[in-house]
Amino acid sequence: MNPTASGPSLKSGVTQVNLSNQESLPMSAIPTTDGMQAETIAALLDGKLRKDLGLEPEDLKIGLTVARNLLNRGHQGEAMRLYAVLVLCQPTEVDFQVGLANCASAMGEHYIALQAASAVIALAPSDPRGYLLSGRSCFHTGSFAEAEQDLGDALGLAEQTGHDVVRREADMLLGRIAAARAAL
């Protein structure tokens, strides 16, 4: 593509970006995944979007209930969009990440589920749900060694914390892995 003066342009090594008729911006002002500014990351993690929208954390909890209800009624796409908005508004809220991972898994989007599960593990390393969600995602993507490790961690933490739902699912998935290995 040949950049023109009136169209978007971006070249490797440039120090400025020109987007149509907008004023040129220094590259350092544009967040990237490799060099995102620390202030931008800190603001996002602190709920800048939520605050900019004038929402309180309690307001988002209502959205969590709505998203769960949508998912339970089979409206996976709508639930996924709502979970994504909740995570964007408050990325450090573990329950939002858990919901996103569960919804993504239900939709067969196991790599998205794995990303959200990784966030849960980073935010709450003693919460067995993150390891279960990661193990489930690894299982569905065929990464059985990683699934066994995460599911083993989930099982151990679930037993320590009395989280029976996590314990049962982790045990069931570990059993499926063992049966698949025995069948080989």
CATH number at residue 147: 1.25.40.10
Which domain covers residue 146, as residue numbers?
49-183
Cα(22)–Cα(43) distance, integer angstroms: 25
Q: What is the pLDDT of residues 7-54, one digit of tens each?
A: 333 333 333 333 333 333 333 443 455 555 777 667 666 777 777 777
- For residues 130 and 146, the answer to whether their CB atoms sit within 8 Å is no
- For residues 100 and 76, the answer to whether their CB atoms sit within 8 Å is no
Within a domain: 175: yes
The two three-digit tokens of residue 116, written as one number: 């959200």
Within a domain: 30: no
Q: Name 157's bridge partners.
A: none
Q: What is the mean pLDDT of residues 141-168?
A: 97
Q: What is the pLDDT of residue 33?
A: 55
Within a domain: 23: no
- For residues 150 and 158, the answer to whether their CB atoms sit within 8 Å is no
Largest CA distance in the chain: 64
Cα 14-20-23 angle, rounded to 5 deg: 70
Q: What is the pLDDT of residue 167?
A: 97
Within a domain: 21: no
Cα(26)–Cα(28) distance, integer angstroms: 5
Q: What is the pLDDT of residue 22?
A: 34
Is the pLDDT assigned to residue 111 strictly greater than 90?
yes
**CA nearest to 126, candidates 162, 78, 161:** 161
**Which percentage of the chain shows pLDDT scores above 90?**
64
**CA nearest to 126, candidates 159, 80, 168, 169:** 159
- For residues 151 and 131, the answer to whether their CB atoms sit within 8 Å is yes
DSSP assignment of 6-19 equals TS-B--TT-SEEB-
Q: What is the pLDDT of residue 5?
A: 37
Within a domain: 14: no
pTM over 0.85: no
Within a domain: 41: no
- Higher-pLDDT residue of 37, 172: 172
Within a domain: 130: yes
- Higher-pLDDT residue of 28, 174: 174
Q: What is the mean pLDDT of residues 100-128?
A: 97
Q: What is the pLDDT of residue 25?
A: 34
- The structural domain count of the chain equals 1
Is the pLDDT assigned to residue 156 strictly greater than 90?
yes
Within a domain: 106: yes
